Amino acid sequence: MVFIGLFTGCFIALFAGYAIMAHTTGTYRPQTNTIYMETVYPLLSMFSLLFLHFFLYGCNIFMWRKTRINYSFIFELSPTQELKYRDVFLICTMSITAVVGVLFVHLSLMDKGYSYSQVELMPALLLLAFLVLLVCPIDIVYKSSRYRLLSVLRNIILSPLYKVVMLDFFMADQLCSQVPMLRNLEYVGCYYITGSYKTQDYGYCVHTKNYRDLAYAVSFLPYYWRAMQCARRWLDEGDTGHLTNLGKYVSAMLAAGAKVAYEKEKSVGWLCVVVIMSSITTVYQLYWDFVKDWGLLQMNSKNPWLRNELILRRKFIYFFSMGLNVVLRLAWLQTVLHYKFGGIDYRLTGLFLAALEVIRRGHWNFYRLENEHLNNAGKFRAVKMVPLPFHEVDEQD
């Protein structure tokens, strides 16, 4: 806990300094520093969404343990190697402090007169350091967890070749909420791999057809992977409910395709298609969230409109959570309305909306595991009852 507090304090101080410097230099004002906003900001946005999601996972672990939801058993995690919530918080605070620290130094050097070409490799080296650490074979920084993550990502990317387990489709659902992060990763990778940084041609990866099509493909991939997992589970189990779930992700891909077409043409016709497809997809997703994933809205339940078995004592929390989920699901309206919040750059608005979706997913995670713990909603359990986790030494506080 000491190190978590230490890194949290460092992050707050560095972020405050970065925000003040960005304000005084006008970095985030529209048309003030186009190169920075087009090249460095996507990296900051990507890391912000990633570690926000990871932080919420730490909060999920904390709540699962407090409510006796045995997530370790459900995810088939090794009790001796799994990440505790303190580990997750430590990784988050340490990583985001490193990210903000590097970007603070980067912006400071630019403010002191260094040209962008002299410091342009700093963001790339930061990303490269994280990628090297992720695949590092040395037994440091939670090697078993890193390699388990890589194996899960492999299973997702190669869907439907691998049999689907709970952790695989749970992680694939997380990726469905991280499309903006994946698009930023694709853009940053393209910018440096193609050598565009040498000429500061930040528009190359946006306007070149092949790379533009790749960016659009990234928007579809998480839904495609999840759909393929549903198809594989249908083939393995013969349950037609998986085909219904597959339809949800197909509808999401159709809605994403309509948005891509609307971005290209900006016509009234495509706008109508976007609204119709997104509305259908949203209703589809809300039904699946409440009825299938959360097991709520059961009319014949002893708890009206909820389910028979509940872990949380206060029932109004479930109704509040359903209402919040509806509101956060409707964040896509901003991508259609394009409402401008004063002089705020549109990229900041996009980051805010992407963060709302990540928060919605973190909120969804708790109830999904609660339903799995009580009702075996995913049908992965080998026994009838999930064993309750015992108190561990690190929980006694």
Please state which of the ranges 37-46, 60-69, 215-224, 326-335 shows the lowest mean pLDDT: 326-335
pLDDT of amino acid 324: 95
Is residue 382 scored above 60 in pLDDT?
Answer: no
pLDDT in tens, 49-60: 999 999 999 999
pLDDT of amino acid 395: 47
pLDDT in tens, 227-284: 999 999 999 999 899 999 999 999 999 988 888 888 778 888 888 998 899 899 999 9
pLDDT of amino acid 348: 80
d(CA 109, CA 118): 9
pLDDT of amino acid 22: 83
Residue of 101, 136, 119, 113 whose CA lies nearest to 13 = 101
pLDDT of amino acid 344: 66
d(CA 353, CA 277): 19
pLDDT of amino acid 212: 79
Residue 104 and residue 17 in contact, taking contact as beta carbons nearer than 8 Å: yes
Residue 60 and residue 50 in contact, taking contact as beta carbons nearer than 8 Å: no
Share of the chain above pLDDT 70, in %: 91
Mean pLDDT of the residues in the chain: 87
pLDDT in tens, 199-214: 878 888 888 887 878 8
pLDDT of amino acid 29: 67
d(CA 251, CA 45): 27
**Cα separation values, 354 from 125, 177, 379, Å:** 25, 8, 31
pLDDT of amino acid 338: 59
d(CA 77, CA 88): 15
Is residue 14 scored above 60 in pLDDT?
Answer: yes
Beta strands in 197-343 (DSSP E): none
User: Which positions ≥6 away from 116 have C-beta within 8 Å?
Assistant: 35, 36, 110, 200
Residue 139 and residue 54 in contact, taking contact as beta carbons nearer than 8 Å: no
pLDDT of amino acid 337: 57
Is cis: bond before 387, omega within 30 of 0?
no
Q: Sign of the C-alpha dihedral, residues 140, 145, 151, 155?
A: negative
Please state which of the ranges 36-50, 244-258, 326-340, 356-370 shows the lowest mean pLDDT: 326-340
Residue 75 and residue 168 in contact, taking contact as beta carbons nearer than 8 Å: no
For 175-196, letters b (16+ CB in 10 Å) and e give bbbbbbbbbbbbbbebbbeeeb
Sorting pLDDT into bands at 50, 70 and 90, what band is 323?
A: very high
Residue of 254, 318, 248, 256 whose CA lies nearest to 283 = 248
pLDDT of amino acid 194: 87
* Torsion angle in degrees (nearest 10) through CA of 32, 38, 44, 50: 140
